[in-house]
Structure 1
């Protein structure tokens, strides 16, 4: 088995021409077969832990993983590709001579595990010659034998492929019947079966499920060949196939589909076709200062880039500088206790337990029980995201529980937790918020973005833009993007709708690290207003 095989998928749309799939192609039936019995996994893990201890490791942990993926990709009324993959193996991480060592194997025999463990210990001892300070781990009490499972109603892997294809064909027909020229629709399904054991005394068995149902709808102006697109407004979720059972009943003023417990993909395809056509004749925005009303389907990406990434401690410390940059939110700003990240309306928190979120697990990938914590409180920076060997740098005693590896063959490291904006405390609907805006733009859906290496200066687009004049929606706009810097933007936050409007968005493929890994992470918010933000016109002029 190839340790890390990346499959090229043609015609994926939405910019996903290369999707990270670890494993080998298998038959669909393989996805519904049981993995190793938990007793067998414990026996294999103990063999690795005992070997590591005998070879001089002061600490060791083992991750035995089975990773299943299914991607179904369609265009118009044809299926373009179906990919099923499976990856099985074990990774062992040790501390020897105060230094980390790691090795992995898909040889799930006693001899294979012994060789991998010996390699991890030997690596640690060799690296210790260059180690300036020993690894300092925050203590974790062993949990014994425990388990956790994503609370799903329908296992997406067990839904017949024909039913999934029928759904996507119905979605595509809905868009084409409503006037779309082209449509791509997809299903991305993931099941991580992860077993963790450590010399701290933990034996943790977890079964994690995620899905995403994106689409891209295009309308072409037959007169001049111009075209506009509208991506689907579904959000990736830590849910089962029941998420796609919904039939939308509620609409908001922009006619986008509300999604919470379920998502109506067929109805969203119809609306996307209508809105893509409407965009063909929409007025081009006049640049200037506007009050922005940002829907959660849009704001999640701004949170991800301007809050989630800059508050990862390894980025703050410079560990990601070579690949992904650093952070403006430096330690001295946090230590001052006075750094105004945003207005006093802004409360941002990290959360690894939120139901339905992509990052929800019972325990992270170094055996820490997960929870939630504040990052920005009443606008002031109060914390970061850190793991066991980092929190001592913040004078803290407990890991935040946000360690993750995307495969058994990858070493676990600090990853972004679900990072979200707390809803407003006062009762406030979207309609009420819009009524108070004199000159503004209501933005729905995530689009293109650009942000600098310190996660400070940025530019964001979107899917749908509606002009607000004197408290009323005055029609659709096009060619909209807003520019700001992180501190200025979050300090311009003036209103946040209450918890009734709270929704999750998220990223299914968030990249980080060298060698690169991907993780899935959600970001929640209610619709939020930002005052006096600079808006530019993105229309390209020829000649």
Structure 2
């Protein structure tokens, strides 16, 4: 039985409490913001509860068991112009228990977190495994994993976003709206998402892992309306969601990276100036009103990291998930062109300039954790080495399929009542090894387009043929930015696109893009993941005009 079928069946049998929530934030109960600051269970209590579950699972016949006790906190603030639209705070608390019995997975979950309840839940998980064993064709093979004993890990934040008064957050968002209005925005909406995962993992391997994970995402959309012409243009935030605390919203000059001359754009590393970005967004939305509509054709593209991150996510991150390669996601989110057979042919995934690594370690990234949801210590590994596909993203029960002896530590569940499974780690394009800045990169382009920010996109189920837009576009002629363009999107296939990569700027330009709500699986789950890169050049890419002509 594959993971998709297992997830569906055990989801029906789990003793989980399903509660209404904001999209992508899990099954959480609305709570007063002050509750988000309550400490919850201490480590000794969690260990006692975990042992109750593990002992009951072994007594019922499990050969392996793990338990995740999770407290998931979230807060979202939404504003528009001078008004607060909504403030939502939520908490979800419970435990999920996964076991192997008779060579088969079983899972059950409960929101009644007591010794007796966890013992009963473990017994239900074993009963589920034994029932599933009737249709299991091959026993589960777990890669070996040593126990780490009692360890802990915490996102190295400076300021806990949940400790910041709601008024301070509202004031910042309203000031953001005002900055956009002062620069010509007709409408402005802004929001702030904050998540804290307090997760305790224990297993029969001998690990007791306590983790405290924080993530934050400030974002907005500025809209300019030309009522006489009946047109409007927008520009979204160029922020990246990050694995940081509220300090992300305290801008630091050292974190700013100037965009190419003639654009006024600014990139951000480990802090973000939302007021500066909002003012520029309104100005650029106004400029888009009069921007020249692009002429379709072949162009050299210069893609900045906030834009390129989404292309990496869709055309590298997803197709190299081993469960997708094996066909487990075919019913929902697709498969992958990069099969094991395709890899064995040594077909170039990209040019020699393309080295892409996976990791769960980068400071400030959304994927950064100490251990995954199988108790595997996280690491970095290479997926594409100078254009050659060398590895996939995999977890404990997949490693043997590709002849490996260890998990990559990228197993994750978005809630205590969900089954953990293979999720995308951070996947990042490595910066160029030779000194190269953005303006210098552009000097080598005779006919091209500079693209910043992520826009609409489309990609086929095999993650091969795709189309990507962006937020702002600038023409490049004879090595210089000349004018703003509009209605730009590019089309390619994954292999053609990455083989067209001619140069990547050096590490000075490196920064992160992020996806806060990346969906996958049945039942569907979300995860957060970052993608790092420096600005990169891609030669002779097909550009189309997206303007729709009516009449």
Q: TM-score, normalised by structure 2?
A: 0.96
Residue in 2 aligned with 1:489? 497
SS in 1 for 2:69: strand
Which of these residues, 394, 404, 413, is aligned with residue 402 of structure 2? 394
Residues in 1 aligned to 2:190 and 2:40: alpha-carbon distance in whole angstroms: 30
Residue in 2 aligned with 1:334? 343
Where do 1:128-139 residues align within 5 Å?
Answer: 128-139=133-144
SS in 2 for 1:194: strand
Which of these residues, 304, 313, 323, is aligned with residue 313 of structure 2? 304
Residues in 1 aligned to 2:343 and 2:104: alpha-carbon distance in whole angstroms: 28
2:20–2:29: 8 Å Cα contact kept in structure 1? no
1:252 aligns with 2:259: yes
Residues in 1 aligned to 2:53 and 2:153: alpha-carbon distance in whole angstroms: 23
Residues in 2 aligned to 1:341 and 1:4: alpha-carbon distance in whole angstroms: 42
1:211–1:237: 8 Å Cα contact kept in structure 2? yes
SS in 2 for 1:152: coil
Which of these residues, 195, 202, 207, is aligned with residue 202 of structure 1? 207
Where do 1:100-139 residues align within 5 Å?
Answer: 100-139=105-144
Give CA-to-partner distance per residue, 1:254-274, whole Å, 9 cap, x none: 222221121000010000000
1:508 aligns with 2:508: no
Residues in 1 aligned to 2:509 and 2:258: alpha-carbon distance in whole angstroms: 12
Give CA-to-partner distance per residue, 1:174-230, whole Å, 9 cap, x none: 000111000110000000000000000000000000000010000011321200000
Residues in 1 aligned to 2:548 and 2:78: alpha-carbon distance in whole angstroms: 31
Residue in 2 aligned with 1:294? 303
Residue in 2 aligned with 1:5? 19
158-167 or 243-252, larger mean C-alpha shift? 243-252
Shift of 1:339: 2.2
Q: TM-score, normalised by structure 1?
A: 0.97
Where do 1:356-505 residues align within 5 Å?
Answer: 356-505=364-513
Residue in 2 aligned with 1:67? 72
SS in 2 for 1:320: coil
Residue in 2 aligned with 1:33? 38
Where do 1:87-106 residues align within 5 Å?
Answer: 87-106=92-111
Residues in 2 aligned to 1:425 and 1:301: alpha-carbon distance in whole angstroms: 23
Count of aligned pairs: 533
Residues in 2 aligned to 1:369 and 1:307: alpha-carbon distance in whole angstroms: 23
Residues in 1 aligned to 2:385 and 2:134: alpha-carbon distance in whole angstroms: 42
Shift of 1:444: 0.1
442-451 or 256-265, larger mean C-alpha shift? 256-265
1:279–1:477: 8 Å Cα contact kept in structure 2? yes
Shift of 1:35: 1.2
Shift of 1:250: 4.8
| Structure 2 runs not aligned, ≥5 long | 1-14
1:344 aligns with 2:352: yes
Once superposed, what is the RMSD of the aligned Cα atoms? Answer: 1.1
Which of these residues, 193, 196, 220, is aligned with residue 191 of structure 1? 196
2:140–2:397: 8 Å Cα contact kept in structure 1? yes
| Structure 1 runs not aligned, ≥5 long | 9-17
Residues in 2 aligned to 1:513 and 1:416: alpha-carbon distance in whole angstroms: 12
Give CA-to-partner distance per residue, 1:402-427, whole Å, 9 cap, x none: 00000000000000000000000010
1:168 aligns with 2:173: yes
